[in-house]
């Protein structure tokens, strides 16, 4: 757990930890009253660090679950203890992939943080390194290709980026029903040449949409054998890249490098996003409505979660884009988690 009194940007501060069971008065009128109300609304927060956003004068923690009073400001689908049994847990995954040939018979691992199929190419990741390349602008800004990795992962429209299109990607995460997979000739040609594992999220966040998308995924899985699936308990708003980091940590990689996980920027407009793969998209609704402060709180809770996973799973994690202009994690945590000098010199 992060120690009591830990601050980020002199704005966000841990004011309660379950270890100490003490509340640090943030100097806000009626702060104890608001804390009691927060714990009433999110009962599991008494088992987590509780943060305060001094500017917005609100509390936040890992106890903000989906389908709760948190609304869009949720971070996980459920508590750890309830993940496998919750409505998005083990039974949900098994039901939703039952038509995915080449997947439905795969062995799988299910624990309090993740459910994932045990494809042979990702079974032995211990003491190995992985680079996760996502679509944020730092993918173009950073010379990540100068370093060596045992595995490289990427996602969605990765093949539209010239730095990636002619490199072997070992695992590709595709959103279920992304466009129409079987009609995307560039993607199919890449898959035929490089033979990556194609991994799908078993749950995309909206059951009605999932059912439509699963039909497209099922057709793909009938024709391609190197497929896998996963479903993480973590489900914050900033996107697929964060879930891929949790995925990599939970399957056992020792050294996790990532680039292109930057977050949204206020200079973006619909159809003109800062994107290394495909910027012709709309601004996500959550960012349009809630903006940068909301995004920073989301990233803080994610990074706290990753640091807790690191204590349990013993991995290293390196944000190669931390010095880039639009990298939210870098703005929040670069000083606390600097890159090794060797890495900085070579990127």
Nearest to 295 by CA among 67, 75, 1, 62: 75
For 136-153, what is the mean pLDDT? 97
Q: Which residues does 55 contact at the CB level (< 8 Å), separation at least 6?
A: 11, 293
How confident is the model at residue 324, as a pLDDT? 96
Tens of pLDDT along 202-261? 876 655 555 566 777 888 888 888 999 999 999 999 989 999 999 999 999 999 999 999
Beta bridge partners of 108: 117
What's the pTM?
0.94
Question: Which residues of the chain form beta strands (DSSP E)?
Answer: 7-8, 12-17, 22-23, 50-53, 58-61, 108-110, 114-117, 129-133, 151-155, 171-174, 197-201, 227-232, 255-259, 316-319
How confident is the model at residue 160, as a pLDDT? 94
Choice among 3-17, 112-126, 209-223 with the minimum mean pLDDT? 209-223
Handedness of CA 318, 321, 324, 327 (dihedral sign): negative
Q: Answer yes or no: is pLDDT of 148 > 60.
A: yes
- The CA distance from 180 to 153, in Å, is 21
- The CA distance from 284 to 301, in Å, is 19
Choice among 21-25, 161-165, 188-192, 256-260 with the minimum mean pLDDT? 21-25
> In the structure encoding, which two tokens stand for residue 236, read together?
């914050």
- Phi and psi (nearest 5°) for 271? 85, -5
Residue 88 has a CB neighbour count (10 Å cut-off) of 21
DSSP H helical ranges for 50-115: 90-96
- The CA distance from 7 to 23, in Å, is 15
Tens of pLDDT along 92-106? 888 878 777 778 778
Residue with tokens 């595995």: 151
Tens of pLDDT along 266-287? 999 999 999 999 989 999 999 9
Beta bridge partners of 272: 269
Residue 41 has a CB neighbour count (10 Å cut-off) of 14
Q: Are 177 and 203 in contact (CB under 8 A)?
A: no
For 56-80, what is the mean pLDDT? 96
Give span(s): CATH 3.90.1480, the chain. 90-346
Confidence band, pLDDT 50/70/90 cuts, at residue 36: very high
For 75-88, what is the mean pLDDT? 94
Q: Answer yes or no: is pLDDT of 315 > 60.
A: yes
| CATH class of this structure's domain 90-346 | alpha beta
Q: Answer yes or no: is pLDDT of 143 > 70.
A: yes
Q: Are 144 and 180 in contact (CB under 8 A)?
A: no
DSSP symbol at 132: E
Residue 326 has a CB neighbour count (10 Å cut-off) of 19
Handedness of CA 116, 180, 153, 151 (dihedral sign): positive
How confident is the model at residue 101, as a pLDDT? 74
In the chain, the percentage of residues whose pLDDT exceeds 70 is: 94
Q: Answer yes or no: is pLDDT of 132 > 90.
A: yes
> In the structure encoding, which two tokens stand for residue 223, read together?
């024709």
Q: Answer yes or no: is pLDDT of 2 > 80.
A: no
- The CA distance from 213 to 89, in Å, is 19
Mean pLDDT for the chain overall = 91
> In the structure encoding, which two tokens stand for residue 320, read together?
């190669």
Choice among 72-76, 115-119, 174-178 with the minimum mean pLDDT? 174-178
In terms of average pLDDT, the best of 14-18, 88-92, 178-182, 298-302 is: 298-302
How confident is the model at residue 22, as a pLDDT? 84
Residue 325 has a CB neighbour count (10 Å cut-off) of 14
């Amino acid at each position: 757990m992060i120690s009591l009194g830990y601050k980020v940007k002199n704005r966000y501060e841990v004011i309660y930890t379950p270890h100490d069971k003490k509340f640090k008065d943030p100097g806000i009128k009626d702060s104890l009253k608001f804390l009691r109300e927060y714990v009433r609304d999110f009962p599991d927060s008494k088992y987590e660090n509780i943060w305060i956003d001094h500017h917005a004068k609100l509390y936040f923690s890992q106890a903000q679950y989906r389908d709760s009073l948190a609304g869009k400001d949720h971070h996980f689908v459920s508590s750890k203890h309830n993940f496998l049994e919750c409505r998005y847990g083990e039974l949900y995954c098994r039901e939703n992939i039952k038509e995915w040939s080449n997947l439905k018979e795969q062995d799988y691992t299910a624990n309090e943080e993740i459910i994932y199929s045990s494809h042979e190419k990702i079974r032995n990741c211990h003491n190995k390194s992985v680079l996760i390349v996502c679509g944020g602008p730092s993918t173009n800004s950073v010379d990540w290709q100068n370093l060596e990795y045992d595995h490289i992962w990427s996602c969605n429209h990765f093949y539209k980026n010239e730095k990636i299109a002619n490199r072997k990607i070992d695992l590709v995460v595709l959103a279920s029903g992304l466009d129409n997979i079987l009609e995307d000739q560039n993607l199919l040609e890449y898959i035929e040449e490089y033979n990556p594992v194609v991994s799908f999220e078993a749950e995309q966040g909206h059951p009605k949409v999932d059912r439509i998308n699963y039909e497209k995924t099922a057709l793909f899985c009938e024709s391609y054998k190197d497929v896998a699936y996963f479903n993480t308990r973590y489900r914050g708003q900033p996107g697929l890249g964060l879930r891929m980091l949790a995925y990599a940590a939970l399957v056992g990689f020792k050294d996790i490098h990532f680039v292109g996980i930057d977050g949204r920027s206020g200079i973006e407009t619909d159809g003109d996003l800062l994107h290394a793969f495909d910027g012709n998209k709309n601004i996500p609704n959550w960012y349009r409505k809630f903006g940068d402060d909301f995004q920073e709180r989301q990233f803080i809770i994610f990074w706290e979660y990753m640091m807790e996973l690191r204590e349990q799973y013993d991995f290293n994690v390196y944000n190669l884009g931390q010095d880039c202009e639009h990298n939210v994690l870098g703005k929040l945590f670069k000083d606390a988690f600097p890159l090794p000098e060797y890495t900085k010199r070579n990127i």
